[in-house]
Structure 1
Amino acid sequence: MNARTLGVVMVLFVSGCGSDDEASSVSNECVLEASRERTKGDDYYVVEAGSPVLATDPQTGLTWARCSLGQSNTGTSCGGTGTIVRHTWSQALGAARTANQKAFEGHTDWRLPNVKELSSLVDTACANVTMNTEIFPGVTRSEYWSSSPNVDRPSDAWAVDFATGRVRSAGKTTKSFPVRLVRGGD
């Protein structure tokens, strides 16, 4: 195998090519790249002892659900009896309204994050899953919906791909992605 072929194989592996969900044989853990500095380390977020299911970003004031919608939080992991639920964009917006009606985690101001807020979770030092998996256990190597519609393509909305850390446009009615709820902020 020549150097060029090896480089292509490495790029495909790191980017998660051919695999975008938790059923993948690739681990759903942040694999630190030695050449990159951590942007969202374990001590970056505030996880309150009385509420181990929430994590607050002190720079943005946003409070995040540590598990993807549908997962059960045990305080140290996500999963339990719940599994990640995938939604179309309108279903994702509705899921946030339902969470508020049920006072999810004792709060009624949950929402789908906008694309800027959601992309703030990306940790550029992580490969494999570009999110801090100690703070957000059970994250899947997938796109997650934002509340931001794509104004140039009315049939699309913006999503963040946590396999690559990139923002991309996706069909509101043709794609189903997980949801991570947020509250607060400016």
Structure 2
Amino acid sequence: MTDPGTGLTWQRTTAGAMSRPEVDRYCAALPLGGHAWRLPTVQELATLVDDGRVTPAMDTAAFPDTPRAGAYWSSTDYAADGSQRWFLSYNDGITSHRQLDEAYVRCVR
């Protein structure tokens, strides 16, 4: 699905929860539509937040399988500690960082 505001094309489905090493490989190997996919930045993930919605805070018609709670990986490392990455929770649209064992994935191109 292409977002007309940003020009980004998003994977509509949510990949299951994955570890950090798995997620980097997953997006790079995604065969969807024959295009090159990547993990989005935290800023790109935030463009999907719909402030008028909660649990999940996004358009569920466009992204129907978005879990009601849970973190989504971004490619943005936390500058003060490279073992952490920024993530976004579509439960409420909040971004944060910490070391996660697993999080959901939605790739972009």
Query: TM over 0.5: same fold?
Result: yes
118, 121, 145: which is aligned to 2:45? 118
SS at match of 2:74: strand
SS at match of 1:94: helix
51, 61, 65: which is aligned to 1:138? 65
In 1, Cα distance between the equivalents of 2:59 and 2:45? 13
95, 99, 106: which is aligned to 2:26? 95
Q: TM-score, normalised by structure 1?
A: 0.56
Equivalence map 1:1-186=2 (5 Å): 55-69=1-15, 85-99=16-30, 104-140=31-67, 141-171=69-99, 174-183=100-109
- Number of aligned positions between the proteins: 108
C-alpha displacement of 1:107: 2.4
C-alpha displacement of 1:127: 1.6
Q: TM-score, normalised by structure 2?
A: 0.93
**Structure showing greater relative contact order (alpha-carbon pairs closer than 8 Å, 6 or more residues apart):** 2
- 1:143-179 alpha-carbon deviations (Å, 9 max, x no partner): 10001111111110010011111001021xx420110
C-alpha displacement of 1:132: 0.5
Structure exhibiting the larger radius of gyration computed from Cα positions: 1
C-alpha displacement of 1:124: 0.3
- 1:82-111 alpha-carbon deviations (Å, 9 max, x no partner): xxx211122111111221xxxx22223100
In 1, Cα distance between the equivalents of 2:28 and 2:36? 9
> Can you give the 5+ residue segments of structure 1 that lack an aligned partner in the other structure?
1-54, 70-84
* Amino acid of the structure 2 residue aligned with 1:96: C
